[in-house]
């Protein structure tokens, strides 16, 4: 399709004459389309070596409705075309070309937004990764807190067992004392039985058995006491280990709080980056 430039609006024709000079002010990746009020392409400037997005005489398709809005309002409008429309993403502005108070045409300035889209995609991925890490940290914090609770329960139980062992030790001590006292009584009884001669012989047998029982009780009490001391030592080792683990867990909680703060800042930066490139 050919364009009869003698029939187009003078203001639009003048803009077309000035377009090459105007294009020099733009960067070398910019695309400029000049449209009449019908949306027909009447001129363009494109980067050197590039293929035109649309040819002279083509009808400009704008699914966003920006072209019609600029015609109606005479106000510049930002425009974004996703890559699904042109094969690559473009962004830019639609600006009215005025003939006095009337819109004579529209200048479409755009440039590739592929790099911006790529950065936006990276920002979204980064944000998603930070959110996932944040969730993992929260799970880890929950796990550490649970371990802390378990350690606290173990500490309480071991302290209770320790008290029970001490109580048992006291009982064993009393048994040992009673055994020693019984042994003395048995010895006295044996002496008295010997003094009584034949009449005290039966009583001497009882005293002997009583002495043997006292000795056995004393030996058993001694073994129990030694065992209780070993248990008490083991409990101390367990308690020390639990206390150390509790300290480490508390330190890890403090560290995870710091990590959470850093992740929150990273998330804030990712959101700012994502917003700044829209």
Question: pLDDT tens digits, residue range 84-97?
Answer: 655 667 778 899 99
Look at residue 3 and tell me if it is in a domain.
no
Query: Which of 79, 112, 145 represents a domain boundary (last residue)?
Result: 112
pLDDT score, position 48: 82
Looking at the structure, tell me whether residues 103 and 83 fall in a common domain.
Answer: yes
pLDDT score, position 274: 61
Look at residue 2 and tell me if it is in a domain.
no
Number of domains composing the chain: 2
Looking at the structure, tell me whether residues 153 and 107 fall in a common domain.
Answer: no
Q: Give whichever of 69-78, 162-171, 245-254 has the largest mean pLDDT.
A: 69-78
H/E element, 199: none
pLDDT score, position 277: 54
CATH code for the domain in which residue 124 is found: 1.10.287.950
Looking at the structure, tell me whether residues 107 and 142 fall in a common domain.
Answer: no
Q: When comparing pLDDT for 100 and 2, which is higher?
A: 100
Query: Which of 89, 112, 135 represents a domain boundary (last residue)?
Result: 112
pTM reported for the whole predicted model: 0.44
- State percent of the chain over pLDDT 90: 10
Q: Which of 77, 146, 131, 84 lies closest to 107 in space, CA to CA? A: 77
Query: Which of 53, 79, 112 represents a domain boundary (last residue)?
Result: 112
Does 70 score more than 80 pLDDT? yes
pLDDT score, position 102: 92
C-beta separation of 235 from 165 below 8 A: yes
Looking at the structure, tell me whether residues 105 and 151 fall in a common domain.
Answer: no
- Give the three-class secondary structure for 49: coil
Looking at the structure, tell me whether residues 241 and 148 fall in a common domain.
Answer: yes
Region 95-122: what's the mean pLDDT?
A: 78
Look at residue 5 and tell me if it is in a domain.
no
Q: Give whichever of 18-32, 112-126, 235-249 has the largest mean pLDDT.
A: 18-32
Looking at the structure, tell me whether residues 88 and 124 fall in a common domain.
Answer: no
pLDDT score, position 115: 56
Looking at the structure, tell me whether residues 140 and 93 fall in a common domain.
Answer: no
Looking at the structure, tell me whether residues 42 and 125 fall in a common domain.
Answer: no
Residue 27 is part of which domain span? Answer: 10-112
pLDDT score, position 203: 56
Distance CA 213, CA 202 (A): 17
pLDDT score, position 62: 78
Quick one: pLDDT band at residue 194, thresholds 50, 70, 90? Answer: low
Q: Measure Cα distances from 52 to 84, 86, 112, 219 in Å.
A: 17, 11, 13, 107
Looking at the structure, tell me whether residues 142 and 244 fall in a common domain.
Answer: yes
Torsions phi, psi for 109 (to 5 deg): -105, 130
H/E element, 95: strand 90-99
CATH code for the domain in which residue 60 is found: 3.30.450.20
pLDDT score, position 198: 62
Looking at the structure, tell me whether residues 137 and 66 fall in a common domain.
Answer: no
Looking at the structure, tell me whether residues 140 and 206 fall in a common domain.
Answer: yes
Q: When comparing pLDDT for 31 and 192, which is higher?
A: 31
Region 210-220: what's the mean pLDDT?
A: 66
Does 1 score more than 80 pLDDT? no
pLDDT score, position 75: 94
Quick one: pLDDT band at residue 104, thresholds 50, 70, 90? Answer: very high
Looking at the structure, tell me whether residues 214 and 175 fall in a common domain.
Answer: yes
Quick one: pLDDT band at residue 25, thresholds 50, 70, 90? Answer: confident
Question: pLDDT tens digits, residue range 129-179?
Answer: 777 777 777 777 777 777 777 777 777 777 777 777 777 777 767 776 665
């Amino acid at each position: 399709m050919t364009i009869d430039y003698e029939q187009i609006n003078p203001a639009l024709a003048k803009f077309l004459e000035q377009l090459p000079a105007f294009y020099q002010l733009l960067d070398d990746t910019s695309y400029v389309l000049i449209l009449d009020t019908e949306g027909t392409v009447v001129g363009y400037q494109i980067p050197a070596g590039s293929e035109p997005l649309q040819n002279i005489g083509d009808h400009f398709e704008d699914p966003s409705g920006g072209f019609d809005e600029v015609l109606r309002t005479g106000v510049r409008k930002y425009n974004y075309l996703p890559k699904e429309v042109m094969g690559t993403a473009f962004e830019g502005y639609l600006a009215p070309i005025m003939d006095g108070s009337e819109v004579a045409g529209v200048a479409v300035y755009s440039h590739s937004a592929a790099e911006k889209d790529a950065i936006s995609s990276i920002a979204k991925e980064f944000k998603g990764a930070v959110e996932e890490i944040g969730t993992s940290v929260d799970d880890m914090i929950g796990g550490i807190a649970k371990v802390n609770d378990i350690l606290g329960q173990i500490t309480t139980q071991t302290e209770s067992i320790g008290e029970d062992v001490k109580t048992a030790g006291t009982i064993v001590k009393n048994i040992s004392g009673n055994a020693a006292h019984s042994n003395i009584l048995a010895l006295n009884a044996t002496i008295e039985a010997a003094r009584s001669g034949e009449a005290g012989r039966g009583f001497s047998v009882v005293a002997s058995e009583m002495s043997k029982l006292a000795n056995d009780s004393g030996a058993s009490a001694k073994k129990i006491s030694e065992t209780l001391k070993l248990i008490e030592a083991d409990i101390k080792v367990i308690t020390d280990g639990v206390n150390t683990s509790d300290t480490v867990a508390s330190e890890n909680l403090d560290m995870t709080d710091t990590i959470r703060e850093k992740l929150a800042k990273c998330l804030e930066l990712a959101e700012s980056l994502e917003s700044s490139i829209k």
